[in-house]
Amino acid sequence: MTLPWLDALYAFAVATAVAALLTPLTMRLARLIGAVDRPSERGLSSRSTPLLGGLAIFAAVLVGGLVWLPGLTHAVSRHGSLIADAVHWHGVLLAAAVITLVGAIDDRFPLHPLVKLLGQIAAAVVAERYGVVVREITLPLFGALHFPHAGPTLSVVWLVAMMNVVNFSDGVDGLAAGVCAIIAGAFAVIAFDLGQDAAGVLAALTAGASLGFLVHNFHPASSFMGDCGANLLGLLMGTVAVTGDLKTTASIAFALPLILLAVPFLDTTFVILKRLKYGRPVYVADAEHFHHRMARIGFSVRRSVTYLYAWTLMLAGLALALRFVPYSNHHGKLNVGWCAAIIAYGLLVVAASAYLVYVLEIVKFRGRAVWQSSRRPAVAPAPGGAGGEGASDAAEAPAATRAGASRRA
C-alpha cells in the first residue's frame, strides 16, 4: 500500500503529461468543428485560437481519478469520528463530465446565460448528491456552525459560484490555468495535513492538469481552455475546498479557502460591482478585469500574468503559514516569535495587495487620477465613431491581450 501523498505525486505527474499530450488533439478537434475563438470588436484577441482545451484537462483528471481516487470516503476527525457525509468520488467525476459537456457545447454553440447557469446548477447538484456537501463549519473563536438542512443548498451555491469565478478570470493567456495550478497545489498540501487524503489527490490532479494545459496556454497561447475548461476547474476547486478543508473540524479551515481564492474572488467581485453600478447585466462581458486594467496601464501579457501569479503565490504562502507555522499550541497559548512572523508576513501580503489595488485604480484616488491622466498619451477614437466603454478599452489595451470570446464574462 502506497502512501497517500505518493499517490498524489503520481496523480500530479500523470495528469500533467496527459493534459500536455492531449491538448494538441483538442486543438485539431476544435478547428474541425469550428469551436474557435475569433477576434471581435469587444474582444482583444489578435488571432483565431482553438477552444476546447478543457477536454484535455478533463481527460487528465479522469484518467488519474479512476486510478488514484477511491470510490468512497468518509470525512473523519483526527480522533476518528465521522463529521460529514460520505463522498463518492466517481460521482464527482460524473459531475465533472456534466459541466465539461455543457461547456463544450457552449464553446461551439453559444448558449444563453440562463441555459449555462442551469447546466452549472445541474453539475453542482450531481456533486452534492454524491457527497460534496458541508453541514457544519468551524469558525475561529466561535466554534462549530451547523446548518443540517441548508447545507446542500449552500454547497450547490458555492460550487456554482466557483465555476463562475474561474470562468470570469479566464481572460488572458495562461491566467486561469496558472492561478488554478498554484491554488490547487496549496489545497493539496493542506488537505493532506488535515487528513483528507482523497481531496488531496483530487487537488493534485487539478494542479497537474492545469499545469499540463499551461504548456500550450501560456503566452502566446496556441489553445484556450474555453468554457468547458474554466467551468470544470471551478467545479474541481470548489469540490476540493469543500471536501479538503470545510469538512474538517480545524478552526482555521474556513479561512484557508478564502485566502487561497482571494485573487479570483476579488477580480469577480470588483467586476460585478462595476456592472451593477452602471446598470449592466452581470453576465455581459466587459473590459474591467484585473488583466484588462493592467493592459490599459501598459503591462504586457506576460508581465500582467506574472504579477497575478506572484499575488496568488503570496496568498498561498500565507494560507500555508497559517496552517503549518506553530504560532499556537492549540490550547490558547501563543508563541510570540512565530506570531510576530505571521503578522509581519500577513502585513506584507496586505501591502502588496493594496499596492496592486492602487496601481490598477480599483479604488479611485483624486491625486492618483490627476497624475495618471497627465502621463497617459491621448488615444485616437476608433474609426467609425464606435464608442462605449468596451471600445475604448479595446483600443487602449495591447493587441496581444486576450479578453476571451465575446460571450465570456
Q: Per-residue confidence at 314, pLDDT binned at 50, 70, 90?
A: very high
End-to-end CA distance of the chain: 45
**pLDDT for 130:** 93
Higher pLDDT, 71 or 130: 130
- Nearest by Cα to 178 from 304, 309, 54, 57: 309
Report if residue 319 sits inside a domain: yes
- Hey, what's the cell of 201? 489527490
- Hey, what's the cell of 71? 470510490
Report if residue 203 sits inside a domain: yes
pTM above 0.95, yes or no: no
**pLDDT for 34:** 94
**Residue at 65: amino acid letter:** G
Residue-level length of the chain: 409
- Hey, what's the cell of 355? 499596492
H or E, element range at 216: helix 197-217
Q: Per-residue confidence at 279, pLDDT binned at 50, 70, 90?
A: confident
Look up the domain containing 363 and give its range: 4-374+389-396
Q: Per-residue confidence at 22, pLDDT binned at 50, 70, 90?
A: very high
Report if residue 212 sits inside a domain: yes
Among 25-29, 205-209, 317-321, 357-361, the minimum mean pLDDT is found in 357-361
The structural domain count of the chain equals 1
What's the rounded mean pLDDT across residues 204-227? 95
Among 128-132, 291-295, 320-324, 381-385, the minimum mean pLDDT is found in 381-385
Report if residue 406 sits inside a domain: no
Strand extents, DSSP E, 66-162:
72-76, 82-88, 136-139, 143-146
Report if residue 381 sits inside a domain: no
Q: Per-residue confidence at 137, pLDDT binned at 50, 70, 90?
A: confident
Most confident among 3-7, 128-132, 360-364 (mean pLDDT):
128-132
Report if residue 382 sits inside a domain: no
Among 31-40, 42-51, 78-87, 388-397, the minimum mean pLDDT is found in 388-397
Residues in contact with 147: Cβ distance below 8 Å, sequence separation at least 6, in sequence order: 135, 136, 154
Report if residue 359 sits inside a domain: yes
Report if residue 205 sits inside a domain: yes
Q: Is the pLDDT of residue 319 over 70?
A: yes
